Amino acid sequence: MTFKKIIIDTDPGQDDAVAILLALASPENMAILGITTVAGNVPIDLTTRNARIVCELAKKSETAIYQGCDRPLAHTLVTAEHVHGKTGLDGPVLPEPTMPVQDQHAVDFIIETLRREPAGTVTLCPLGPLTNIATALQKAPDIAERIQEIVLMGGAYFEVGNITPAAEFNIYVDPEAAEIVFACGAPITVMPLDVTHKALVTQPRNDAFRALNTPVGIAVAEMTDFFERFDREKYGSDGAPLHDPCVIAYLIDPDMFSGRQINVEIETKSELTRGMTVADWWRVTDRKANALFIGDLDADRFFALLAERLGRL
Ligand code: RIB
Ligand code: CA
């Protein structure tokens, strides 16, 4: 795997938190140029607070955090407290953060970084609604060809929706933003519910986090304990799906994932199917393939990596 320079765009959320921790624990694989926050699971003030909490939990308070957009491009904000709790990071009791937030807006940080770094050397890792990324592309269209890759969590095909019958949350919240991102021409790898619902924190896997017996290991066990109730109730699944950490694990060990290079379009017109990712998995159209759509992972390898890396913090 090649060393990556990344920007994590995130709406923490317990699963975002685990993704950020995995990235912070993997300095031999990636350098985090910055963490940009976006409104999603909870409003922007809480997603920014939560990003700070997670960096301090990992003892990485030098991480640069930039606050971003507080609402989607065209809709009113839809949040997910019913999944993540009132704070967005319910489960563990963690201290209020003291580390700073950068003055620069997240969108300007994304633009400036992509223009400064050599073209094709920065990977964007969106873990929430795509509002910041789309706004940056609208403000500075020249950055599209400078992006090495966009590896995002969002969408669904065989798994269908988790916030409506048709749509996954990140895409549903800001479908216009997703439409801009999927059309921008940068290489895109998508971690949809089709794969993230196979990354379930079963009890033995949760026990492995707790058995690390560190503040990070215990906090992750408590986060995923809290976070699983929604999926257990709705899907009867055997544990919380670790959606966002799939993005970071892909950067570390892409071979644990498999998928297809296909066309993915975003529904933005119909209220009924708003935010649906129309994935041409069977290639029945002649629409241009614009994304690597991941459908499977080696879950044991994923959780072994996660436990090993979290154990470092
Ligand atoms: O649908 C799951 C996605 O929505 C995850 O990124 C979760 O954190 C929420 O943002
Ligand atoms: Ca998220």
Q: Where are the domains of the chain?
A: 4-310
Whole-number pLDDT of residue 17: 98
**13 pocket-lining for ligand 1 (C-beta < 6 Å):** yes
- Asked whether 45 and 268 are in contact (CB, 8 A), the reply is no
**39 pocket-lining for ligand 1 (C-beta < 6 Å):** no
Ligand 2 center–CA 146 separation, angstroms: 24
Report which bound ligand comes closest to the CA of 171.
Answer: 1
Whole-number pLDDT of residue 1: 67
**162 pocket-lining for ligand 1 (C-beta < 6 Å):** yes
Active-site annotation, residues: 243
Closest-lying ligand 1 atom to the alpha carbon of residue 14 = 8
Whole-number pLDDT of residue 68: 98
Ligand 1 center–CA 55 separation, angstroms: 19
Whole-number pLDDT of residue 135: 99
Whole-number pLDDT of residue 83: 87
Whole-number pLDDT of residue 26: 98
Class of the 4-310 domain? alpha beta
Closest-lying ligand 1 atom to the alpha carbon of residue 153 = 6
Whole-number pLDDT of residue 236: 81
Whole-number pLDDT of residue 3: 97
Question: Can you give the pTM of this predicted structure?
Answer: 0.98
Cα angle: 222, vertex 84, 123; to 5 degrees: 95
- Ion ligand 2: residues, CB within 5 A, are 11, 13, 16, 127-128, 244
Ligand 1 center–CA 200 separation, angstroms: 14
Whole-number pLDDT of residue 255: 98
Per-residue model confidence as pLDDT tens for the chain (313 residues): 689 999 999 999 999 999 999 999 999 999 999 999 999 999 999 999 999 999 999 999 999 999 999 999 999 999 999 889 999 999 999 999 999 999 999 999 999 999 999 999 999 999 999 999 999 999 999 999 999 999 999 999 999 999 999 999 999 999 999 999 999 999 999 999 999 999 999 999 999 999 999 999 999 999 999 988 777 877 787 888 999 999 999 999 999 999 999 999 999 999 999 999 999 999 999 999 999 999 999 999 999 999 999 999 9
- For residue 13, what are the contacts with CB-CB under 8 A and spacing of at least 6? 40, 41, 42, 47, 50, 80, 84, 88, 89, 127, 128, 244
Whole-number pLDDT of residue 266: 98
pLDDT, tens digit, for every residue of 22-71?
A: 999 999 999 999 999 999 999 999 999 999 999 999 999 999 999 999 99
**Would you say how long the chain is, in residues?**
313
Report which bound ligand comes closest to the CA of 83.
Answer: 1
How far from 55 is each of 20, 33, 98, 235, 297, CA to CA, in Å?
8, 14, 11, 31, 27
Ligand 1 center–CA 77 separation, angstroms: 14
- For residue 270, what are the contacts with CB-CB under 8 A and spacing of at least 6? none
Helices (H), 8-105: 14-24, 44-57, 81-84
Our mutation pick for probing the ligand 1 site, out of 78, 130, 153, counting the most ligand atoms within 8 A of Cβ, is: 153
**What is the Cα–Cα distance from 110 to 97, expressed in whole angstroms?**
24
**16 pocket-lining for ligand 1 (C-beta < 6 Å):** yes
Whole-number pLDDT of residue 95: 96
Six token digits for residue 4 = 């990556």
